[in-house]
Amino acid sequence: MVKIGVAVLAAGKGTRLKLDIPKALCPLLGKTLIDFVLDELDAFDQNSNTSLTTGIVVGHLKEIVQKHLKSRDVQFAVQKEQLGTADALKSYFDGTKNAWDCDYTIICCADTPCLTQDIFSQMYSKIDSDSELMGVCASFITEDPTGYGRIIREGKGFKIVEEKDADKSQKKVNEVNSGLYIFRTSHIKEHLFDIDNTNNSGEYYLTDLVSPDFNVEALTFENASAFQGVNNLIQLENAGRDIQQKIIEKHQLNGVRFINSSTCYIEPEVTIAKGTVVYPGVVIEGKTTIGENCVLEANCVIKNSQIGNAVKVLAGCYFEEIKTGNELSIGPMARLRPGTVLEDKVKVGNFVEIKKAELKKGSKVSHLSYVGDAEIGEETNIGCGFITCNYDGANKHKTTIGKNSFIGSDCQTIAPVNIGDNAYIGSGSTINKDVPSDAFAIARERQVTKEGMAKKFLKK
């Protein structure tokens, strides 16, 4: 196994983002900036014959970064003062166990979420295939090189000149340093401590590990957008859009048909099976799976849910942590809250709210109802305007309704209460006592009709 140390530089404040959180934790597509880099590094590690030791250089608001990453197999190295990228690398070696023992060291930044495992793997292959090579620096060509270190090729090698130190002609060079490198760790050991800060920024530059005298190569990548950094909220949106585009294309190649994907928001962990159609404005978040041949109509929001096959989700639905079987129809405008479980062929209609309730196969709640803390049996039909009164002001209670029952419109069940199988509840009933199987129950005032009395109340 080849041992690779990874220094992820994340000590920066990210002032230009104008957020109250460290830059590394800036939210993007349901993750944070640094998660993207770490996930791609993990993927690279899994798909190559390498063993990664990752050290994250933290500084500004380090506790929050550490807390966010606590479940990951990474170490944290603290940089006390931000004296420059070479100083950050020193902090990495000081604070990461076994860092000096690694064959190679990858250096990358926490704010480049579009980096891919493929780029790490190309950098690694390059250095690993040439025993003389001391390092590889990823570069790219850009129309506007402002702000980047310029790759100045000289003789066999090259040097990197920062914007602040570049002369007029150097500033015109449009091949730039991406900030991603892989070095032999021995090369870093030999040169890191010679780096000084005699430059126009007074910073210790990591880029001084590169010089025309060293056998380091600049590997020019075609796809500049993979290296885009995030320093402000405009760049954050741009990076997000690029990642989103890749996610959408992956689904499209898997047979998911989007009507207008640019209006949709689909997080990275979402899976959608073939034959499903996604209308404009659909938002799917978290660990959500959508089955085959579903239709997700306009403006549905689905979070951390499992949707089966052939499920029709009509416009404007909002789901959180729900689970469905196959061949259902839901909505339009249904709100399904955590703990909703809908079996096959259930129908949930418009303006229905369901929470922590199980609707068995073929049952129907078609209009304007609230079903919470309940179990509804197979093939039971619930009329319009039904309410499970589940909360007594202090505690929640359960309503159970058996199979093949019929609940008339405008009924309430005052929980805890059980209604059996094949029961029939007359419209307008408030049910607060159990109803056994096969029974008819009605609980409303008898009607009083007085002939000719209407004119007393009618104004004209």
Whether 139 contacts 178, CB under 8 Å: yes
Cβ at position 108, least distance to ligand UD1 in Å: 9
Chain positions 179 to 208 lying near ligand UD1, rule: CB under 6 A, are 179, 205-207
User: Which residue in the list 60, 68, 191, 367 is annotated as catalytic?
Assistant: 367
Tokens of 449: 């009709």
Q: Which one of 108-116, 369-377, 398-406, 448-456 is the stretch in contact with ligand UD1 (CB under 6 A)?
A: 108-116
Q: How far apart are CA 55 and CA 40, in angstroms?
A: 15
245-250: long-range contacts, CB 8 A cutoff, minimum separation 24: 247/29
Rule CB under 5 A: which of 152-191 touch Ca ion? none
The answer to whether residues 260 and 248 touch, using CB atoms and an 8 Å cutoff, is no
Q: Phi/psi at 23 (nearest 5 deg)? A: -55, -40
Binding-site partner at residue 45 among ligand UD1, Ca ion, none, CB < 5 to 8 Å by type: Ca ion
Instruction: Report the residue from 4, 11, 313, 346 that binds ligand UD1 according to the rule CB under 6 A.
Output: 11
Residue 82 lies near ligand UD1 (rule: CB under 6 A)? yes
Taking CB under 6 A as the rule, does residue 109 contact ligand UD1?
yes
Q: Could you give the angle at the alpha carbon of 243 between the alpha carbons of 239 and 248, nearest 5°?
A: 145
Q: Does 111 bind ligand UD1 (CB under 6 A)?
A: yes
Residue range at the interface with ligand UD1 (CB under 6 A); choices 81-89, 186-194, 246-254, 269-277: 81-89
d(CA 405, CA 420): 8
54 binds Ca ion (CB under 5 A): no
Answer for which of 48, 54, 79, 400 binds ligand UD1 (CB under 6 A) is 79
Among 110, 136, 359, 415, which residue interacts with ligand UD1 (rule: CB under 6 A)?
Answer: 110
Nearer of residues 82 and 437 to ligand UD1, judged by Cβ: 82
Q: Pick what 50 binds: Ca ion, ligand UD1, none; C-beta below 5 to 8 Å, kind-dependent.
A: Ca ion
Q: Which stretch binds ligand UD1 (CB under 6 A): 103-111, 212-220, 318-326, 433-441?
A: 103-111
The C-alpha atoms of residue 365 and residue 382 are separated, in whole angstroms, by 5
For residue 218, the SS3 value is strand
Q: Is 68 a catalytic residue?
A: no
Instruction: Give the up-direction half-sphere exposure of residue 427: CA atoms within 13 A in the CB hemisphere.
Output: 5
Query: Pick from ligand UD1, Ca ion, none: which does 89 bind, CB < 5 to 8 A by kind?
Result: none
Report the C-alpha gap between 222 and 235 in whole angstroms: 20
The yes or no reply on residue 50 touching Ca ion (CB under 5 A) is yes
Ranges within 132-151 binding ligand UD1 (CB under 6 A): 148-149
Alpha-carbon span 348 to 337, nearest angstrom: 13
Q: Applying CB under 6 A, which of residues 25, 28, 34, 88 lies at the interface with ligand UD1?
A: 88
353 makes contact with Ca ion (CB under 5 A): no
Sorted by sequence, the CB contacts under 8 Å of residue 29 that are 6+ apart come out as: 240, 243, 244, 247, 267, 268
All residues at 6 or more sequence positions from 407 whose CB lies less than 8 Å from its CB, including other chains: 380, 381, 382, 383, 386, 401, 419, 425
CB of 321 closer than 8 Å to CB of 305 = yes
Among 4, 6, 9, 236, binds ligand UD1 (CB under 6 A): 9
Least separation in angstroms between CB 69 and ligand UD1: 15
Return the amino acid letter for 413.
Answer: T
Place of tokens 């126009």: 200
Cβ atoms of 135 and 181 within 8 Å: the answer is yes
Structure tokens at 76: 């944290």
Distance separating alpha carbons of residues 367 and 344, to the nearest angstrom: 19
Residue 376 near residue 395 (C-beta atoms within 8 A): no
Using CB distances below 5 to 8 A depending on partner kind, what does residue 308 bind out of ligand UD1, Ca ion, none?
none
Residue 229 engages ligand UD1 in binding (rule: CB under 6 A): yes
Nearer to ligand UD1, 177 or 400 (CB): 177
Contacting Ca ion within 6-45 (CB under 5 A): 45
HSE, side-chain direction, 13 A CA sphere, residue 94: 14
Cβ proximity to ligand UD1: between 179 and 331 the closer is: 179
Q: Which residues bind Ca ion (CB under 5 A)?
A: 45, 50
Positions in the binding site for ligand UD1 (CB under 6 A): 9-12, 57, 79, 82-85, 87-88, 109-111, 148-149, 160, 162, 176-179, 205-207, 229
Active site residues: 367
